[in-house]
Homo-oligomer: A and B are copies of this chain.
Amino acid sequence: MYSKVRMGMIGGGQGAFIGAVHRMAGALDGRIELVCASFSQNYENTKITGACESISEKRLYVSWQEMLDRELDLPEYERMEFISIVTPNHLHMPIAKAAAEKGFHIICDKPAGMSYDEVAGLAPILTSSGSIFALTHTYLGYPMVWQARHLLEKGTIGKLKKIYVEYPQGWLAQELEASGNKQAGWRNDPAKAGLAGAMGDIGTHAHSLVEFISAQSMIRVSAHLRSHFKSRQLDDDGVILFEMDDEVTGVLTASQICAGEENSLKIRLYGSKGGLEWSQMEPNSLKVRQSGQPMQIFRAGLDQSLCTAALERTRLPSGHPEGYLEAFANLYRQFAAAVRNNESLQARGVPGLVEALSGMAFLEAVVASNAQNNMWVEINNNVPAQFQRLAS
């Protein structure tokens, strides 16, 4: 009998959004069991959340430090195998490093940390402990994102020339942080959110999508960031012009003040012969335009026309819509398989340390460019030699 992979969670108590998402993503395929947690700095919250999740009270911990220590004391067959980090950003790396030092595997929300250097400091620990570190760039869990990458790779649209990626949201069009909204609050606090606001929160998703589908790195950016309220310390809106290897240019917009917009991440890539378009809000379709030919719409689930990687990320026949939680669950399922089978994340198609570093380097270049009148700034694409990029 296969035993479920045992997960612990840090952060994500009641009132948080993303913690519940990670729990559902972990649960969906029946391969992962949530066995322990330190959901909140408020232990009452941890207990209430834990009770709802059917976690034994003795494995609900007062602090993440306690959780790491006490789980290590448990017999191997019982103790958690990996932790899921869903705290505000500033805690990601301290927890990840401590966990890796104790040999636990890690799956972490994005952005990975507060600076490139902070995240780079995780690399030697992972190397010495053998821990796996995964980063939940949700949108890389969607099958049609893999199909897009596959079509680009096989030349369907010719040589890549132009990328547009946009990520409008509307939830910060009002000054929510002023009225005590918890999500808005920490995201507007540089000590907790890090270098950037909207760019860190959603711009990094757009960045990772660009690099993943194109299988190329951004090499420089010219960034224009804005904040639309005096009290708002971090950007809520921005546009990034970028250049990639090989004469590819692009435009990335990310904004949280587009009132009325939901979560409208969309990417378009154009090559010498055609273009690809994918929208997160209609995730099961991939539009493929080729000059002079009818547009094609590839659909998730439609067996014969999809690549293997896309099919592996599909649970249902076409026409039975899958969505955000299924994409998230794809990351968890592949990560859990890597943990259990001691496989590489790259082989499992899950973003990890390289993508974490890329994201931090992107943010640092963006902030630097914005601070210097939008001058072009190179992105630090140095990656520790022992780690592999997902999209290579």
Contact = CB atoms under 8 A, between A and B. Distances in A.
- List the number of copies, as a whole number: 4
Nearest to A5: B54
A314 to B, nearest CB: 12
A164 to B, nearest CB: 7
A46 interface: no
B262 A319 contact: yes
Contact of A173 (B53, B173, B272): B272
B27 A30 contact: yes
Contacts of A295: 260, 296-297, 299
A154 interface: no
A262 to B, nearest CB: 3
Interface residues of A, number: 95
Interface in A283-319: 283, 288-299, 301-305, 315-319
A341 interface: no
Interface in A140-169: 157-158, 161-162, 164, 166, 168-169
Given A2-B54, A56-B1, A325-B326, A275 B260 contact: yes
A291 B259 contact: yes
Given A263-B319, A292-B302, A321-B283, A30 B1 contact: no
Contacts of A30: 23-24, 27, 34, 53-54
A190 interface: no
A34 to B, nearest CB: 7
Contacts of A315: 20, 24, 325
Nearest to A1: B51
Contacts of A21: 316
A51 to B, nearest CB: 5
Contact of A292 (B17, B55, B164, B305): B305
A141 to B, nearest CB: 13
Contacts of A304: 292-293
A27 B281 CA distance: 24
